[in-house]
Chain A
Amino acid sequence: MAINWFKYSAPSTFYGLAGKLIPFFAWPAAILFVIGLYIGFFVAPTDAVQSEAYRIIFLHVPASILSMFIYLIMAGYAALGLIFNTRLSSMMAQALAPTGALFAFVSLWSGALWGKPMWGAWWVWDARLTSELILLFLYLGYIALQASIEDPRRADRASALLAIVGSVNVPIIYFSVKWWNTLHQGSTIKFTGTSMHIAMQQAMFAVLAACWLYAIAVTLARVRSIILERERNTQWVSELREMKQ
C-alpha cells in the first residue's frame, strides 16, 4: 500500500509532523556546528597564502551555498503553490525566506570581513558580490511583498511571482566568477573536486551540514507558526492541546 503523501500536504497534519521532526534536525545541527568549528579552528592547518584569515571560509562558504539553495527551494515551493494551489507550499516558501535572507546577509558580512584584510577592500562592485547583494534584496523584497498584502492567498500569488522570476539570479551568482573578470576567486568546491586540504574540507562540510539542518529546523518551526496564524479560525486549531491551556 502506498503512503498517502497528500495527507501531509494538509496543514493540519503537517503541523504535528513538523513539531515532531524539529528535534531530529536541531540537535544534529548544534552538534555538527561544534564539530565543524572545532576542526576549523583547532585541527585545520594554517593556509600558505592567507595564514589564519582564511578560516572565515568555514562560515562564509556554507552561508553562501545555503543562501542560493534556499532561494531555489523557496521559488520551487512558490511555484508549486501557484500551480497546484496547495496552501502548505506557499506557507513553506514564506517560512524559508527569513532564513535565506539571514544566510545571504551572513555571506555578505563575512565576505566583507574577509575581503578587507586579504583583498584590501570591504566591498567591490564585482559580479559575484553584486549578484549576491541582489539576492539579499530579492529575499527582503519577497518578505516585504508578502507582508504588505492583507489577503494571504493574494500575497502568496504576488510574492510567488517575484520568487520565481528572481530565481534567474541564482545561476548568475554561481557562474559569475567564470563568466566575467571578478576580484572574487573561483569556486573551491567544484563538481570535479575540491582544491582544499582535507581537514579544511571536513570543517567546511561539517558546518555546511549544520547550516542545512539548522535551516530545516527553523523553517519547520516557522511554518508551524504560519499554519497556526493562517488557520486560527478553523476547528482543528481550536482543538489543539496547546490552545486549550
Chain B
Amino acid sequence: MTPRQKRMWFIVAGVALVAAAVGLVLYALKNNVSLYFTPTQVFNKEAPQGRSFRIGGLVEAGSVQREKDGLNTRFNITDTVQKMPVIYKGILPDLFKEGKGVVAQGKLESDNVFHAEEVLAKHDENYMPPEAVDAIKKAEAAKAAAQPNSSSTANSSVAK
C-alpha cells in the first residue's frame, strides 16, 4: 500500500469509528435527545416521575376550555392512542389550536393532571395559501358526504 492509500483508509476507518461511537451514544441517550414524551410513554411510566419534563402531541379537538378566571386553560394532549389532561396558566402561542401540534413543559401532579409552565406550538412542514386549505377541506367534506359510513376516517384526517 502506498502511503497515500494508507492515509486514505486511515481517514475512512477513523470516520467510520467516530460515526459508530456517536451513533451508539445517541442511541443510548435516545430519551434524553428527544425533546418530549408522548402521552403513551407517560402512560407507560417512561417519563420521569415527580420532576419536570415535556410532553408533546396534538391538542385534542374539542378539549380546550378556558376557565372563568380568564388565565387558566385546560386541554388534552393526545397522540391518538392516549391522552393527557393539561392545565396551563398564561398566554398561549398564536399557533395553539385544536388538532394542531403542541409541546408543554411541566410536571405531572398527584391529581393526574399535567401542570404546564410553558406551552409551545409545533407546526408542520406544509406551506400553502388559505385557498388551498379551503379546497382540501371542501374535497374532504364532499368525500365524507359521499360515504356516510366512513365518517370516522374523515374525522381522523381532519385531526391530522
Question: A interface vs B, CB < 8 Å?
Answer: 45-50, 54, 57, 79, 82-84, 117-121, 124-127, 164-165, 167-168, 172, 179-183, 185-188, 195-197, 200
Taking the complex as formed, is B4 at the interface, i.e. its CB lies under 8 A from any CB of chain A? yes
A43 to chain B, nearest CB (A): 12
**CB atoms of B130 and A48 under 8 A apart:** yes
26 contacts between A and B (CB under 8 A): A48-B130, A48-B132, A50-B127, A54-B127, A57-B127, A82-B7, A83-B8, A118-B94, A118-B95, A119-B93, A121-B118, A121-B120, A126-B35, A164-B11, A165-B18, A168-B22, A172-B26, A179-B26, A180-B33, A180-B35, A181-B35, A181-B37, A181-B56, A196-B128, A197-B127, A197-B129
Question: B interface vs A, CB < 8 Å?
Answer: 4, 7-8, 11, 14-15, 18-19, 22, 26, 30, 33-38, 56, 92-95, 100, 103, 118-133
* CA–CA, A28 and B146, complex, Å: 52
Listed from nearest, the 9 A-B pairs whose CB atoms lie closest are: A120-B93, A45-B129, A126-B35, A181-B34, A48-B133, A48-B130, A185-B125, A180-B34, A195-B126
Classify the secondary structure of B's interface with A. Answer: mixed
B74 to chain A, nearest CB (A): 18
CB-defined contacts of B127 to chain A, threshold 8 Å: 47, 50, 54, 57, 188, 195-197, 200
* The one of A117, A168, A183 that contacts B122, using a Cβ cutoff of 8 Å: A183
* CA–CA, A141 and B4, complex, Å: 27
Q: Which residue of chain B is the closest to A169 with respect to CB atoms?
A: B22
The answer to whether residues A180 and B120 also contact, given A46-B129, A127-B35 and a CB cut-off of 8 A, is no
CB-defined contacts of B126 to chain A, threshold 8 Å: 188, 195-196
B66 to chain A, nearest CB (A): 17
* CA–CA, A83 and B7, complex, Å: 6
* CA–CA, A79 and B41, complex, Å: 43
* CA–CA, A146 and B133, complex, Å: 51
* CA–CA, A181 and B57, complex, Å: 10
CB-defined contacts of A197 to chain B, threshold 8 Å: 127-129, 132
The answer to whether residues A120 and B132 also contact, given A84-B4, A164-B14, A181-B56 and a CB cut-off of 8 A, is no
A116 to chain B, nearest CB (A): 9
A203 to chain B, nearest CB (A): 11
